[in-house]
Amino acid sequence: MRVILDTNVFVSGVFFSGPPFEILDAWRHGRLTLILSPEIFAEYERVGQELANQFPAVDISPIFELLAFKGEVVNAPALSEQICSDSDDDKFLACAMASSTKIISSGDKALRKTSGYAGIEVLSPREFVNKYLRKVIRLRDDQT
């Protein structure tokens, strides 16, 4: 399963627990593939570093090394027109379209309002975990 995480979901998964952490943990264990563009990666790094400055006990470098190695990076041209009311969020839709990824996990209300655009489902982290991730885990457990 392929998914794009908005920056807040990714960073929350690195620094905190709950559904964002569950998503990153599933990715670390090979249960899903994180898709991102260079623009998304840069935003992850920028926001991650800002939080790392607030939480100096957390070493974020291993997750970024893993992301560079294990994340699927695609070039995503900018959209021809603004879709999201917050134009900064259009990069997630552009990435989904460029990679044919049908799911974005986001807590951002502006981005979530675009759900359905070009067949892309935008789900909160909890919705994603409940609708997809738990199913993937059950299927893997049934196969072992």
| Contacts with 37 (C-beta within 8 Å, 6 or more apart), sequence order | 73, 74, 75, 76, 91, 94, 95, 98
Considering its fold, how many domains does the chain have in total?
1
pLDDT < 70 regions, the chain: 136-144
Q: Range of 73's domain?
A: 2-143
Three-point CA angle 105, 118, 81, nearest 5°: 100
| Contacts with 63 (C-beta within 8 Å, 6 or more apart), sequence order | 14, 24, 48
Quote the pLDDT of residue 65: 92
CATH number at residue 134: 3.40.50.1010
**Residue in this structure with the two tokens 């909890």, named with its chain if needed:** 126
Look over the chain and give the mean of its residue pLDDT values, rounded to a whole number: 92
